[in-house]
Amino acid sequence: MTTPADHSVLICAPNWLGDAVMCMPAIRLFRKAHPEAALILLSKRRLCELWAMNRDTDRVLAYDPTFRGTLAARAVLRERRCAQAFVMPNSFRAALIPFLAGIPERIGFRGHHGRAWMLHRVVPVSSARRGRHQWTEAFSLLGLPVPDALPPPPYLFPDERAASEMRDRLGQAEGEERIGLIPGAARGPSKRWPPEHFIAVGRALASSRRARLLVLGAPAEAELCRRVADGIGPAALDLGGRTSLPQLAAALSLCRAVVANDSGGMHLAAAVGAPVVAVYGLTDPNKTGPLGPSHLLVAPGLAAGDRDIARRSDAAELALRNIAPEQVVEAVAALLART
């Protein structure tokens, strides 16, 4: 792809936190391959704070997923006169906005709801790529060679004000180490290790390591986080639903280790530099595992499934229940020993 000096490129960003983090290595290398291009990223408003921590784009545009929000995004993009648009989400609306904006070259996967007619070029989802980690998909979409191994993983820079606020809010006693617990997963019970297992891990770490357990999650997970923090006792601090996204990122960056399900929070923790112990049931960590070398995976040892799974799956929930808390405590100890 050639890019003239005044070339503007639009990237329609993924709609989910984990998916957004996993596309960042490709965006970084696209930036390096086309330094002369003005790189504009279009994101749902709720994830704009995430992209503000990423330094590989020139401008982030927020939009609301409503009829009015779609028209407003179209108007802004018409003024920007982008020459190309790369559509990462599979949704109809994600392809509709650059189509209505009149961007002449629109590239994306076939996606949902018969949207292919709005794309200038449809990138095929090859069977070979289906067997690889999700981060490779963005490389194919952006027209980059897919490397055999992950290039430098994404790194996010938490907002300095949020980081200062969280350091003051958390405090730290001498000899105490912070360990994050993320018991939720937006996908539902099929990706959630049982809360009583998180409680057992928290109690064991508080007892054996004098750890301060930060229980973290989105507002929708506030009740789950409260249950886990209450079960652990005084060593736990319940932050579930009590942080903004920048504050959550800052809190994770202050942790020596984080225990998490296969979730957006897991990917966020990895992206701010926190070593992660990731607990997997029937989803495949080879396809959605945390990016980077400083992480450990705990899985039931069964044949892994695809990266997608129903929100309720008896088999997946059983596989997760069969992972003993002691396995995760050992993994945390091993992770801390090497970091």
**Taking 90 as the threshold, does the pLDDT of residue 309 lie above it?**
no
* Distance from C-alpha of 219 to C-alpha of 232, rounded to nearest angstrom: 20
21, 249 in Cβ contact below 8 A? no
Q: How confident is the model over 181-190, as a mean pLDDT?
A: 93
Is there a single domain that holds both residue 270 and residue 210?
A: yes
pTM score, whole prediction = 0.93
Is there a single domain that holds both residue 121 and residue 19?
A: yes
Give the per-residue pLDDT at 3: 44
Last residue within a domain, chosen from 112, 141, 170: 141
For 27, the domain range is 8-141
Residue 67 inside a domain? The answer is: yes
* Distance from C-alpha of 168 to C-alpha of 296, rounded to nearest angstrom: 30
Q: How close are the terminal C-alpha atoms of the chain, in Å?
A: 41
Task: Look at 3-7, 196-200, 264-268 and tell me which has the smallest mean pLDDT.
Answer: 3-7
* Distance from C-alpha of 205 to C-alpha of 47, rounded to nearest angstrom: 32
Give the per-residue pLDDT at 304: 57
Q: How confident is the model over 148-165, as a mean pLDDT?
A: 92
* Distance from C-alpha of 225 to C-alpha of 192, rounded to nearest angstrom: 12
List for the chain the helix, strand, coil content (%; round to 5): 45, 15, 40
Residue 36 inside a domain? The answer is: yes
pLDDT band at 263 (very low <50, low <70, confident <90, very high): very high
Is there a single domain that holds both residue 94 and residue 215?
A: no
Is there a single domain that holds both residue 295 and residue 171?
A: yes
**Taking 60 as the threshold, does the pLDDT of residue 75 lie above it?**
yes
Is there a single domain that holds both residue 132 and residue 209?
A: no
Give the per-residue pLDDT at 311: 77
Q: How confident is the model over 266-288, as a mean pLDDT?
A: 95
Is there a single domain that holds both residue 127 and residue 248?
A: no
Is there a single domain that holds both residue 124 and residue 187?
A: no
Q: What is the chain's mean pLDDT, rounded?
A: 92
Is there a single domain that holds both residue 223 and residue 307?
A: yes
* Distance from C-alpha of 83 to C-alpha of 259, rounded to nearest angstrom: 43
Strand partners, 295: 276
Last residue within a domain, chosen from 106, 141, 176: 141
Is there a single domain that holds both residue 99 and residue 201?
A: no
Q: For residue 96, what is the domain's CATH number?
A: 3.40.50.2000
pLDDT band at 306 (very low <50, low <70, confident <90, very high): low
* Distance from C-alpha of 176 to C-alpha of 190, rounded to nearest angstrom: 33
The better pLDDT of the pair 85, 315 is held by 85
Is there a single domain that holds both residue 195 and residue 112?
A: no
Residue 25 inside a domain? The answer is: yes
% of the chain with per-residue pLDDT over 90: 80
**Taking 50 as the threshold, does the pLDDT of residue 4 lie above it?**
no
Strand partners, 258: 180, 276
**Taking 50 as the threshold, does the pLDDT of residue 282 lie above it?**
yes
Is there a single domain that holds both residue 172 and residue 314?
A: yes
Residue 153 inside a domain? The answer is: no
The contacts of residue 2 (CB under 8 Å, 6+ apart) are: none
Is there a single domain that holds both residue 120 and residue 180?
A: no
Give the per-residue pLDDT at 273: 95
**Taking 70 as the threshold, does the pLDDT of residue 25 lie above it?**
yes
The label of the residue with tokens 């994050």 reads 180
Give the per-residue pLDDT at 302: 58
Give the per-residue pLDDT at 127: 46
Last residue within a domain, chosen from 109, 141, 173: 141
State how many domains the chain has: 2
% of the chain with per-residue pLDDT over 70: 94
25, 33 in Cβ contact below 8 A? no
- Sign of the CA dihedral 46, 49, 54, 60? positive
Residue 313 inside a domain? The answer is: yes
Measured at the CA of 302, the angle between CA 300 and CA 303, to 5 degrees, comes to 140
AA identity, residue 78:
R
Residue 37 inside a domain? The answer is: yes
The tens digit of pLDDT for each residue in 157-177 reads: 999 999 999 999 998 777 789
* Distance from C-alpha of 235 to C-alpha of 203, rounded to nearest angstrom: 8
Give the per-residue pLDDT at 319: 92
**Taking 70 as the threshold, does the pLDDT of residue 206 lie above it?**
yes
* Distance from C-alpha of 205 to C-alpha of 332, rounded to nearest angstrom: 9
Query: Distances from the Cα of 35 to the Cαs of 18, 38, 40, 56, 300, in angstroms?
Result: 26, 8, 13, 10, 44
Give the per-residue pLDDT at 65: 92
Residue 1 inside a domain? The answer is: no
Residue 154 inside a domain? The answer is: no
